[in-house]
Every structure is written in structure tokens, then in C-alpha cells.
């Protein structure tokens, strides 16, 4: 279980660093290509975080009267959903953004 959480943290760190360094929003064709790479990394990393969270958080069923509430949403699931949403938004933003002329 500790390894799964470490893997999620590593994936999230790599995808966020990729997004920060590569940029999610391109202003010319070359920058857009790298932005698509960053957006793809966000989507893949988010999907991996969701998959690890869903497959590793198996709580034992409680059959007694005093069962504590356990939320079906865990940190990895929420973080993964945010990463996927950011990647999809980046794709849509790049598809609809006009290229900026950077030379005279």
C-alpha cells in the first residue's frame, strides 16, 4: 500500500513538472507540440493515479452497528481527476488558440 501511494506521488510530481516546464498552452506550432506532450502526460498521469487509487484502496466491509463513514473518494482519485481535467482543458485550449507571430 505504501508503494502505491509513493507511485501516485511520483506520477503526480512528474506530470506537474512536465506541465510547468513544457507549458500547457502553446503560442506557435513548436510550442503547441510540446504543450500537447505536457497535456498527454497530465492525462496519462491522472489516469494512472486514478487506477492506482481505485485498485489499492480496498476497505474491509463493516458489518457492525458502529461502522465509521468511509468516503468513496480518496486523495489519489481526486488528484487524478484534476490532472486529467487539466490535460483535457490544455488540449482544447491549444486546439482553439491562434498562433502568435513571433518574428518580424
Structural domain of residue 50, as residue ranges?
A: 1-13+30-57+72-104
- Considering the domain boundaries, does residue 23 fall inside one? no
- Considering the domain boundaries, does residue 66 fall inside one? no
The answer to whether the beta carbons of residues 42 and 82 sit under 8 Å apart is no
Rama region for 23: left / alpha / beta (φ>0; ψ in -120 to 50; rest):
left
What are the pLDDT digits (tens) for 19-66?
555 445 667 777 788 888 888 988 998 899 888 888 886 777 788 888
> Can you tell me the mean pLDDT for 79-89?
87
- Considering the domain boundaries, does residue 1 fall inside one? yes
Domain count, the chain: 1
- Considering the domain boundaries, does residue 51 fall inside one? yes
Q: How far apart are CA 9 and CA 56, in angstroms?
A: 14
Q: Which residues contact 56 (CB under 8 A, 6 or more apart)?
A: 1, 4, 5, 76
Rounded to two decimals, the pTM is 0.67
pLDDT at 82 over 80: yes
Amino acid at each position: 500500500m505504501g508503494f502505491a501511494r509513493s507511485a501516485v506521488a511520483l506520477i503526480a510530481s512528474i506530470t506537474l513538472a512536465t506541465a510547468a516546464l513544457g507549458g500547457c498552452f502553446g503560442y506557435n506550432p513548436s510550442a503547441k507540440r510540446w504543450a500537447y506532450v505536457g497535456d498527454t502526460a497530465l492525462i496519462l498521469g491522472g489516469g494512472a493515479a486514478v487506477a492506482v487509487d481505485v485498485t489499492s484502496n480496498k476497505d474491509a466491509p463493516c458489518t457492525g452497528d458502529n461502522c465509521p463513514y468511509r468516503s468513496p473518494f480518496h486523495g489519489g482519485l481526486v488528484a487524478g481527476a484534476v490532472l486529467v481535467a487539466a490535460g483535457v482543458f490544455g488540449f482544447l485550449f491549444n486546439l482553439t488558440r491562434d498562433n502568435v507571430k513571433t518574428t518580424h
